[in-house]
Structure 1
């Protein structure tokens, strides 16, 4: 395929990483094993990893760009960082714990070449087994999180048309500790673009090997749980704000409910408190029956409560201009 003079490569593969020394080698190898007859570059966009992630990537001969300030770390800054130094007509977004599946790139590029109104395309996701509640629940809802056909956003990344990203100003929002693909989908849809998920394998994902409570602690410390509030705050006043609310409606409804229970606890009587807890008990019972586990029902409440606290924390977080470039450095093997 001929390239526009604007682009050096047909494809830029952007891998966002933070402490992925255990997985980044396999991710890079999977890309090289499954992309053929295409002029491409691999960019590892690193958030100042504390392990050997950068060295492993440099040793494999890929471009490594790193943040200069640790306080910039978040999911939203990673792929944006790679986009700033990319030179590809198409952008493939992966995380450092993903492995590209055979055949996806050829099918995805063919789809975008034949459907110019679409800004991006993704594929089916395969997740490994996990012991913690969050990833077990995610695997149960995999058809809901990663639906096929035309979609509002592409969870887990995908293949994006660079010209569409140039059109909307930035790739991923550097303020968001998660939900960056959701926010990207909202902006692309607002600009008139469409997105699609093909029923073909895209990537395999390695889950966190942490217990449920260890993962929640990690999610809080990393800022991941703040993302719902950050999304609300960053999209407020934008044409897509109502759609952003719908994107996080389950967590938002639970947050409003918990706030009402707290008000009843402070200002209401014992009888009112018991009545206010009926929906919570019913929710626990339904979850327990569905999962055939009373513990899973309890963990679902713990999980949602953590996200509720995160919404408040995220709303209180200052928002930076997402189009403003973070401070970064392109590394060479000698550094």
Structure 2
């Protein structure tokens, strides 16, 4: 089989139909497959997915859900020479797979390739910031990159060298961590100037979304990445290239300085308290965006510590899942535990 598209999802009834439809059409010229890895949806995600010619696997233990778990669950059932990871709120552009496969077949030193990402939802503070990042950050522009955020096409032979695709312990940054492991082994990654996906993202208010990410473990993901890299060859790449770690350390140091100055020089401490917020307001050119960034980075500073001291499961261990049958006439209604 030439290509597999894996889609990870949790309660994506608003977008899963468009996501699955785009993936099914994209693999059709290659005789490929589409795999839905569901992390225990309670909405109509599965009902909708059963109307498509895809394989559906649902996480057997919903308490184990994470971004890394969903990605790895899709991967462990993939059979293609190439594997594309897609989120359930993304629509795959039909132009990308032919261009991506052609690129990898012509460039043997590259393990993966991504394309242009369009952020559809820019109504909330987080996604306005993210859309600006997509325009400015080198990892989102065509050329050599150190990660493929928002999905990419991977060479299966390169992934098999690693033993697993995504670290099941990670609540975010699974693409960055994967890129670090690939690059440590000498592989390269790239983006090409071809549209890849439209990303719809969350419509939840930014501060509410931040609270949800705090409760779900998402905010601790960069600490989990650091925890998993300790004692492994890709540790230096993680420390150098994951800016969330450096920023969180800076925030922790800032708080330590505030506490010390609070006892010695209270007025200077007040200045130090307000200055970062003012700088962020100027940088974001918005009081609300500056306040959100200030809150977000303080949340992630706590998350660094929480993730660093989190427990881990062996990332190469198989993830238990249940296969759910589609409701297509030619398919047999059945389910079984993997």
TM-score, length-scaled by structure 2? 0.91
Contact 1:43 1:63 survives alignment (8 Å): yes
2:58 matched to 1:80?
no
Q: Distance in 2 between matches of 1:257 and 1:32?
A: 45
Structure 2 residues not aligned, in runs of 5+: 327-332
- The 1-side partners of 2:79 and 2:252 are apart by 48
1:149 to 126, 140, 143: 143
Aligned equivalents of 2:57, 2:189: Cα separation in 1: 28
Q: CA deviation at 1:208?
A: 0.6
Residue from 297, 319, 332 that aligns with 1:326: 319
The alpha carbon displacement at 1:280 in A equals: 5.2
Distance 2:265 2:302 in 1: 23
Matched, 1:304 2:268: no
Match of 1:291 in 2: 284
Are the aligned partners of 2:3 and 2:33 in contact in 1 as well (CA < 8 Å)? yes
Q: Report if aligned partners of 1:261, 1:276 keep a CA contact under 8 Å in 2.
A: no
Please name the residue that 2:166 is paired with. Answer: 172
For the residue of structure 2 that corresponds to 1:88, the secondary structure is coil
In structure 2, relative to structure 1, the CA distance for the partners of 1:270 and 1:192 (3 Å cut) is: same
**Partners in 1 of 2:226 and 2:168 — Cα distance?**
14
| Contact 1:229–1:312 under 8 Å retained in 2 | yes
Find the counterpart in structure 2 of residue 222 from structure 1.
Answer: 216
Question: 1:273 deviation in Å?
Answer: 4.8
Pairing partner for 2:3 from 4, 7, 11: 11
- What secondary structure, in the 3-state scheme, does the structure 1 residue paired with 2:81 have? strand
Structure 1 stretch displaced more, 15-24 or 213-222 = 213-222
For 1:198, the equivalent position in structure 2 comes to 192
Task: Please give the secondary structure, in 2, of the residue aligned with 1:289.
Answer: helix
State the distance in 2 between where 1:280 and 1:149 align.
Answer: 39
Note if 1:186 corresponds to 2:186. no
Separation (CA, whole Å) in 2 of partners of 1:26 and 1:57? 10
Provide the rounded CA distance (Å) in 1 between the counterparts of 2:259 and 2:283: 33
- Residue 114 of structure 1: which of 106, 111, 115 is its match? 106
Deviation of 1:191 after TM superposition, in Å, equals 1.2
Q: Within 1, Cα distance between the matches of 2:196 and 2:257?
A: 48
TM-score normalised by structure 1 residue count? 0.91
Residue 70 in structure 1 maps to residue 70 in structure 2: no
State the Cα RMSD in Å: 1.9
Determine the structure 2 residue equivalent to 1:4. Answer: none
